[in-house]
Amino acid sequence: MSETNETIYYKVSYVVLGGTYTGAIINVDKRPEIGDEVSFDNNVFEIVEVMELMPPVGNFAFLHATCRFLREVEMS
């Protein structure tokens, strides 16, 4: 069995629980995991669910991540 070092790129659809905050679609090079934090729209969110929307095509995958609001981004 041969190992590949092929990088997979992800297009992730983030949906925020509760409907107060808008979601986002973001290209990332690391698969999001439950418990990870993600920032968009000057807010920080915690990922609570990750689902594959369709099988990867080559080195590209589509994911859906549900998240919850944690805090506003701290500006320095």
- Please report which confidence band the pLDDT of residue 7 belongs to, taking 50, 70 and 90 as the band edges: confident
Question: Model confidence over 32-41: pLDDT tens digits?
Answer: 999 999 999 9
- Residues 8-37 have a mean pLDDT of 95
| Nearest alpha-carbon partner for 47 in 57, 32, 60, 61 | 32
SS3 35: coil
Contact assessment for residue 73 and residue 61, using Cβ atoms and an 8 Å cutoff: no
- Ordered by start, the domain boundaries in the chain are 9-72
Question: pLDDT exceeding 70 applies to what percent of the chain?
Answer: 92
Distance, in Å, from the CA atom of 47 to the CA atom of 67, rounded to the nearest integer, reads: 4
Sheet holding 37-40, edge to edge: 24-28, 9-16, 60-72, 43-57, 37-40
Residue 1, pLDDT score: 38
Residue 6, pLDDT score: 76
- Residues 10-15 have a mean pLDDT of 96
